């Protein structure tokens, strides 16, 4: 039987970390929590639930994930976010597929929940890797895993509880937007003008409300679409600030 270690990156996740850990406890061979300096009860809760907690100063998401990889003891590694939970069906499918030895890694489907409401959305992320075939993560925010070999797909989705309340959403936007803005700045994004703000904000609203069918979720969907528009505004406002500071 192949064994699998679970890696969870954390930074002030006290409202979700216990449910996340309970969903993999007793299934994973080892559970490592890589904490970036939480000031709430995240570390305490993680230790209480049997996780091995390692502190690591945050540089970027690839660096956190690559650091975590150096601690793995099993032949397989599964990167799970603190706001995600696995199901019994998922665990059974993972066991079957990693024991088959046919693939070097797997993408994982995620079922999205906003405000604890099933949004009817699914995406795919690369999260499970055979240790011997793994190379590294690259990228500051939207990090990508590089491996030797073929990727497969786990059909049974995990549950992703993103955007749980407005306070958490605002904190997340403030943290992530500086990295997103820096990526655009380093790529020599054209100078921000008034019309660019309007365009990106309208595009995000349309994507969330219409393309992702947020309108089917009533007031929840409207709030989420407006929030997405606000979130992209903050990213580009920080980009505008960087560009102005450079010109000054």
Q: What is the dihedral of CA 216, 219, 223, 228, to 10 degrees?
A: 0
- My answer on whether 117 and 28 are in the same domain is yes
What is the pLDDT, as a whole number, of residue 247?
Answer: 60
- My answer on whether 135 and 190 are in the same domain is no
Task: Give yes or no for residue 229 having a pLDDT over 80.
Answer: yes
Six token digits for residue 52: 């091995």
For the stretch 100-124, pLDDT in tens is 988 999 999 999 999 888 988 899 9
For the segment 47-68, the average pLDDT, to the nearest whole number, is 95
> Domain ends where: 162, 179, 201?
162
- My answer on whether 89 and 200 are in the same domain is no
Six token digits for residue 197: 């703000």
Q: What band does 47 get if pLDDT is binned at 50, 70 and 90?
A: very high
- My answer on whether 16 and 110 are in the same domain is yes
- My answer on whether 102 and 182 are in the same domain is no
- My answer on whether 193 and 116 are in the same domain is no
What is the pLDDT, as a whole number, of residue 44?
Answer: 97
pTM value is 0.89
- Percentage of the chain lying above the pLDDT 90 cut: 85
What is the pLDDT, as a whole number, of residue 101?
Answer: 85
Longest dimension (CA), the chain: 61
What is the pLDDT, as a whole number, of residue 168?
Answer: 87
> Domain ends where: 113, 142, 162?
162
- My answer on whether 128 and 69 are in the same domain is yes
Mean per-residue pLDDT of the chain: 94
For the stretch 192-228, pLDDT in tens is 999 999 999 999 999 999 999 999 999 999 999 999 9
What is the pLDDT, as a whole number, of residue 27?
Answer: 97
- My answer on whether 178 and 151 are in the same domain is no
Task: Give yes or no for residue 248 having a pLDDT over 60.
Answer: no
- My answer on whether 14 and 109 are in the same domain is yes
Please name the helix (run of DSSP H) or strand (run of DSSP E) that holds residue 239, with its range, or none. Answer: helix 218-247
- My answer on whether 123 and 38 are in the same domain is yes
> Domain ends where: 162, 195, 223?
162
Instruction: Specify the CATH number for the domain of residue 134.
Output: 3.90.550.10
- My answer on whether 151 and 218 are in the same domain is no
Least confident span in 32-36, 76-80, 105-109, 114-118: 114-118
- My answer on whether 124 and 145 are in the same domain is yes
Q: How does DSSP assign 31-50, residue by residue?
A: EEEEES---SSHHHHHHHTT
Q: Which domain holds residue 236?
A: 166-247
| Tally of structural domains, the chain | 2
What is the pLDDT, as a whole number, of residue 238?
Answer: 97
**Distance between CA 18 and CA 33 in Å, rounded?**
12
């Amino acid at each position: 039987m192949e064994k699998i270690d679970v890696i969870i990156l954390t930074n002030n996740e006290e409202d979700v970390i216990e449910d996340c850990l309970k969903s993999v406890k007793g299934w994973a061979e080892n559970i490592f929590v890589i904490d970036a300096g939480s000031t709430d009860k995240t570390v305490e809760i993680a230790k209480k639930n049997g996780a091995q907690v390692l502190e690591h100063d945050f540089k970027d998401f690839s660096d956190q994930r690559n650091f975590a990889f150096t601690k793995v003891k099993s032949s397989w590694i599964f990167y799970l976010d603190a706001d995600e939970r696995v199901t019994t069906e998922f665990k059974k499918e993972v066991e079957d597929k990693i024991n088959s030895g046919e693939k070097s890694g797997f993408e994982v489907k995620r079922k999205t929940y906003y405000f604890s409401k099933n949004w009817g959305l699914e995406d795919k992320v690369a999260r499970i890797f055979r240790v011997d075939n793994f190379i590294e993560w690259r990228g500051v925010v939207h990090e990508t895993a590089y491996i030797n070999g073929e990727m497969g797909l786990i059909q049974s989705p995990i549950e992703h509880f993103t955007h749980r309340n407005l306070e958490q959403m605002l904190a997340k936007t403030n943290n992530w937007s500086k990295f997103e803005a820096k990526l655009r700045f380093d790529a020599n994004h054209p100078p921000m003008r008034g019309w660019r703000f309007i365009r990106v904000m309208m595009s995000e609203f349309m994507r969330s409300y219409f393309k992702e069918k947020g309108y089917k979720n009533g007031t929840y969907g409207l709030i989420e679409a407006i929030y997405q528009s606000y979130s992209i505004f903050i990213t580009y406002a920080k980009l505008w600030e960087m560009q102005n500071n450079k010109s000054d």
